[in-house]
Amino acid sequence: MADPHRKPELPRRRFLLGSAAAVAAPYVLRLPRALAREKPAEIIVRAWGGVWEEALRKGVSDPFTAMTGIPVRHDLTEDNEIRPKIWAAVDQGRVPPIHVNWDTTTNATKSALRGVTEDLGGLANLEGLLPLAKPAGLDGWPLVNVYSYAYVLAYSQKAFPDRAPESWTAMLDPAFRKRVAMYDDGIGLFAPAQVAGGGKFEDIPEAMEPCWDFFRRLRANQPLLGEDPDFTNWFQNDEIDLACTIISNAREARQNGIAVSWTVPGEGATLDTDALWIPKGLPENELYWAEQYVNFALSAEAQQVWCNALGLPPVRPGLEPPADLVGDVAYPASEADLGRFLRIPTPVLVEHESSWFEKVNEIMQG
Amino acid sequence: MRPLGLRLLDFAETLRAGIFPARLSGWTPYLYLLPATLVTGILAIGLAEMAETSLHVLDRATFRLDPAYTTANYAAIFGKPVYLRIILKTGLAALLVTLLTLLLAFPYAYLLVRTPHPRLRRLLLVALFLPFLLGQVIRAYGWLIVLGKQGLLNAALALVGLGPVSLIYTYGGVVLGLVQYMLPFAVLLLAPALTAIPREVELASESLGASPRRTFRHIVLPLARPGLVAAGVVVFTLTVTDFAMPEIMGGGANDFIANAIYDAFFQLSDPGMGAALGIVLTVFASLIVALAFLLVGVAALGHGAQQDMRAGS
């Protein structure tokens, strides 16, 4: 006899089964397609070195390998160097040298404009991403932005024991002659330099003389010019006190025990994004698995670990920020926080950035 | 019956005569030139391709080269002070490095050749080849360790209450690194030239009353000219085209032309400008080397010069 007080089990089971089926549906439906695709010997992902590569391995590549059995190799060729190789390979109908390119959004957009990127519009994990993930000024999804990052003013606590520098003009202080650093092409500093030089952010790109004046004054302080890993090394070797760099580099130095901190000065700080894209010309099965790699990189699981290791806000909303960056001025936790930053639109960067690089080079070569 | 070896030689001779008849023997010298001509020809094709690329500007809407021909890239190179400064910096560094390297390499090579102590010769050779085998990038990073703020030099200076001094990321630092890199090349090119000078000639000079200084100036130096010219040309051309040392030791503000070419190709995605800078570098280096040959004569590279001098002496 049926117990009248017993709760009906079937509906609960049905509910659980139904939920599981709903969650698994996209994967189950894709399974036959996946089984039909021959797995490649490896997936090659171009990456930046140091903390950047470690974070990618921990957050995306190793879990992807564990899930699919496909080894992932990181190609640490500079982003600027791999680009012409990919462009040439696509133009000549050769298989490109990598499967997935981890690139700056500006450079990725240049490749998209050249028509060498695959469309990622079919990826299931594009759903639910922040609007920041969508490439600006392009049709479809020739690339997907994966996180944002700020170019902060990093400083040694020895040089600023009491409080953080309040303005980017601290880099112009003769007391820091030969002890300031920036990227060798000036990236990340254009917008703050424009404001700190007495100009308006809105005047970019039309009237940038205040920006170039800032760089000229900075040149008098003989800054060191480098790439991502240089900043960590320079802080570590006590070569510099101040640097305009991505927060991840300063954070890595701090995690290595160096007394380094960072701030967003009163003028604001540049906010930018990095992207993932797949070059055209891959064999069909390799393209499929490259897409799966990018798709996985956009999942909550991968974004949580990857972006936390980098100390950067992911494009997947609702994830936990790293404990040491909760409330950090350089870590935008919401869409509203993004307003604090200086964001030069990607189409403007694509059109003008090269000429700005030339201008900085012209100033810095003295 | 003729021995097998001779028969084989006869067969080879018949075969040669079939392929290359005796009436064509006048072409033999040209045949020797064929490999060099092929290599140079391939280089010339590459250069022509580069020259063609240099005549197109980048279309930033598609990031492809505009098909229209123009000299705008050259106008930019010669119209923008930054490129002229980079060319001048490169040329000056090449001259300084050549001069300093020859000054240091000459006594080293002389000692290497003339020392009667085999152990010292071995030591000099090991000291010469050890860094030579390390490669340029590793040596440049070695300099960063030695000359950095917390490097060996500043640690030593701190012991005597001096410093710190900043030698890396400067123009002087780049020149210093290049001189150290070029030294083995120069010594290796000078050593055969110095070996070719008979010791007896120096002894004769001294026995006739010449001081070591006069002997050096009037005997050793002129006879070493082929080595000096060869070493000078090699060091100059390697320096003028160098990329790694200014990249690593220059701190970003002491670029050479090769660095500007790299930036144009990879940072600016502008192969037209990169190719134009490449052509300018090729022409610039070739003109300087041609000028050097014009001043000292191409014959100075060969032993003919030594024989001429011996005949004249």
Strand pairing class (A43-46; A100-104): parallel
What 8-state DSSP symbol labels residue A72? E
Domains of chain B: which residue ranges? 58-312
Go through chain B and tell me how many residues it has: 313
**What is the average pLDDT across B80-95?**
93
Structural contact between residues A147 and A315, judged by C-beta atoms closer than 8 angstroms: yes
Rounded Cα gap, residues A262 and B93, in angstroms: 38
pLDDT, tens digit, 9 for 90 and up, residues A92-110:
999 999 999 999 999 999 9
Q: Are B252 and A184 a contacting pair at CB < 8 A? A: yes
Preceding omega of A135 cis (within 30 degrees of 0)? no
Does the pLDDT value for residue B308 go beyond 90? no
Task: Look at residue B190 in the predicted model and tell me its pLDDT.
Answer: 95
Please give the full DSSP string across B233-259, using - where no structure is assigned.
HHHHHHHHT--HHHHHHSTTSS--HHH
Q: Are A358 and B268 a contacting pair at CB < 8 A? A: yes
Structure tokens at A118: 């695959």
CA B58 to chain centroid, in Å, comes to 33
How many CB atoms neighbour CB A155 within 10 A? 25
List own/partner pairs for A30-37 with CB under 8 A and 24 or more apart.
A30/A124, A33/A288, A34/A288, A34/A292, A37/A284, A37/A285, A37/A288, A37/A289
Higher pLDDT, A6 or A366: A366
Report chain A residues whose CB lies below 8 A from the CB of B267. Answer: 80, 185, 354, 357
Task: Look at residue A299 in the predicted model and tell me its pLDDT.
Answer: 97
Q: Are B166 and A178 a contacting pair at CB < 8 A? A: yes
Nearest to B168 by CA among B248, B258, B239: B248
CATH topology of domain B58-312: MetI-like fold (1.10.3720)
Rounded Cα gap, residues B84 and A18, in angstroms: 72
Task: Look at residue B302 in the predicted model and tell me its pLDDT.
Answer: 60
Report chain B residues whose CB lies below 8 A from the CB of A234. Answer: none
What 8-state DSSP symbol labels residue B56? -
**What is the average pLDDT across B267-284?**
94
Strand pairing class (A180-183; A242-246): parallel
CA A277 to chain centroid, in Å, comes to 12
Structure tokens at A322: 């790293």
Rounded Cα gap, residues A253 and A260, in angstroms: 7
Rounded Cα gap, residues A271 and A149, in angstroms: 6
Amino acid identity for residue A288 in this structure: Y
Q: Are A224 and B251 a contacting pair at CB < 8 A? A: yes
Task: Look at residue B215 in the predicted model and tell me its pLDDT.
Answer: 93
Does the pLDDT value for residue A15 go beyond 80? no
Q: Are A113 and B62 a contacting pair at CB < 8 A? A: yes
Cα dist. B100→A193, A275, B88, B104, B173 in Å? Answer: 41, 48, 18, 6, 14
Rounded Cα gap, residues B5 and B7, in angstroms: 5
Rounded Cα gap, residues A292 and A74, in angstroms: 16
Structure tokens at A126: 């594009």
Does the pLDDT value for residue A18 go beyond 90? no
Does the pLDDT value for residue A156 go beyond 50? yes
Report chain B residues whose CB lies below 8 A from the CB of A258. Answer: none
Q: Which domains does chain A have, with CATH numbers?
A: 40-148+273-325 (3.40.190.10), 149-271+340-364 (3.40.190.10)
Band of pLDDT at residue A33, cut at 50, 70 and 90: low
B155 to chain A, any CB pair closer than 8 A? The answer is: no
Radius of gyration of chain A (CA): 23
What 8-state DSSP symbol labels residue A198? T
Task: Look at residue B301 in the predicted model and tell me its pLDDT.
Answer: 63
Task: Look at residue B151 in the predicted model and tell me its pLDDT.
Answer: 82
pLDDT, tens digit, 9 for 90 and up, residues B13-66:
888 888 888 888 888 888 889 999 999 999 999 999 999 999 999 998 888 999
Which SS3 state, helix, strand or coil, does residue B211 take? coil
B206 to chain A, any CB pair closer than 8 A? The answer is: no
Q: Are B63 and A354 a contacting pair at CB < 8 A? A: no
- Taken in order B278, B281, B285, B288, the sign of the CA dihedral is positive
B60 to chain A, any CB pair closer than 8 A? The answer is: yes
Higher pLDDT, A332 or B163: A332
Quote the ipTM score: 0.74
Does the pLDDT value for residue B119 go beyond 50? yes
Structural contact between residues A213 and A172, judged by C-beta atoms closer than 8 angstroms: no
Report chain A residues whose CB lies below 8 A from the CB of B270. Answer: 354
Structural contact between residues A345 and A284, judged by C-beta atoms closer than 8 angstroms: no
Q: State the residue for tokens 């967003």.
A: A264
Band of pLDDT at residue B218, cut at 50, 70 and 90: very high
**What is the average pLDDT across A47-59?**
94
Report chain B residues whose CB lies below 8 A from the CB of A224. Answer: 169, 251-252
Does the pLDDT value for residue A5 go beyond 50? no
Task: Look at residue B300 in the predicted model and tell me its pLDDT.
Answer: 63
Task: Look at residue B299 in the predicted model and tell me its pLDDT.
Answer: 64
Give, rounded to a whole angstrom, the gap between the first and last alpha carbons of chain B.
Answer: 56
Rounded Cα gap, residues A22 and A245, in angstroms: 44
Higher pLDDT, A342 or B18: A342
Task: For residue A353, count CB atoms less than 10 angstroms from its CB and return exposed for 0-12, middle for 13-18, buried for 19 or more.
Answer: buried
B61 to chain A, any CB pair closer than 8 A? The answer is: yes
- What angle do helix axes B136-147 and B152-159 make, rounded to 10 degrees? 20
pLDDT, tens digit, 9 for 90 and up, residues A196-251:
999 999 999 999 999 999 999 999 999 999 888 889 888 988 889 999 999 998 99
Report chain B residues whose CB lies below 8 A from the CB of A114. Answer: 62-64
Strand pairing class (A100-104; A270-277): antiparallel
Does the pLDDT value for residue A11 go beyond 80? no
Q: Are B267 and A185 a contacting pair at CB < 8 A? A: yes
Report chain A residues whose CB lies below 8 A from the CB of B64. Answer: 114
Does the pLDDT value for residue A23 go beyond 50? no
How high is the mean pLDDT of chain B?
89
pLDDT, tens digit, 9 for 90 and up, residues A266-313:
999 999 999 999 999 999 999 999 999 999 999 999 999 999 999 999
Q: Are A110 and B80 a contacting pair at CB < 8 A? A: no
Of A78, A114, A178, nearest to B63 by CB-CB distance is A114
Task: Look at residue A8 in the predicted model and tell me its pLDDT.
Answer: 42
Q: Please name the helix (run of DSSP H) or strand (run of DSSP E) that holds residue B122, with its range, or none.
A: helix B118-134
Preceding omega of A32 cis (within 30 degrees of 0)? no
Band of pLDDT at residue A34, cut at 50, 70 and 90: low
Structural contact between residues B218 and B210, judged by C-beta atoms closer than 8 angstroms: yes
Strand pairing class (A224-226; A180-183): parallel
Strand pairing class (A100-104; A260-263): unpaired
Q: Burial code of A136-151, b = ≥16 C-beta within 10 A, e = fewer? A: bebeebbbbbbbbbbb
